[in-house]
Amino acid sequence: MLRDFAPADAGPLGKVALESFEQFRSSYSDWTAMADRVSHMSELSKTGELILAEDHGQIVGGVAYAYDGPRTIEIVGLRLIRPDKCSSSNLRPVARAAVSC
């Protein structure tokens, strides 16, 4: 199921973001700094839109859009999904675009 982000989702979304980016750990010279930024993905809700993917009540992915000006131009689209959920049929729209699938 896809739904809008709510403030209570910040912690679970941060965990999913870290799980999704873990596969790229060796690509970053300062993984600690990168992990800190990734785990705060919910901060993007202040300047854009977050849409979450849920599976059986658990957040398993999300899409973040940041806009320039009056929410008319997409600047950044960040897509992620837990690696173990990439094959879930009800999450395929998110999985197709996710960084980890």
What is the distance between the alpha carbons of residues 97 and 10, in angstroms, rounded to a whole number? 21
Question: In the chain, what are the domains?
Answer: 2-97 (3.40.630.30)
Q: Does the pLDDT of residue 44 top 60, yes or no?
A: yes
On average, the pLDDT of the chain sits at: 76
For 81-99, the pLDDT digits (tens) are: 566 665 555 444 444 444 4
pTM of the model: 0.70
Confidence at residue 96, expressed as pLDDT on a 0 to 100 scale: 46
For 1-14, the pLDDT digits (tens) are: 888 999 999 999 99
- In sequence order, which residues have a C-beta less than 8 Å from that of residue 33 and are 6 or more positions away? none
Q: Say whether 95 sits in a helix, a strand or coil.
A: helix
DSSP string, 20-66: HHGGGGGG-TTHHHHHHHHHTGGGGGGTEEEEEEEETTEEEEEEEEE
HSE-CB at 101 with a 13 A cutoff on CA atoms is 20
Q: Does the pLDDT of residue 32 top 90, yes or no?
A: yes
Query: Which H or E run contains 96?
Result: helix 92-97
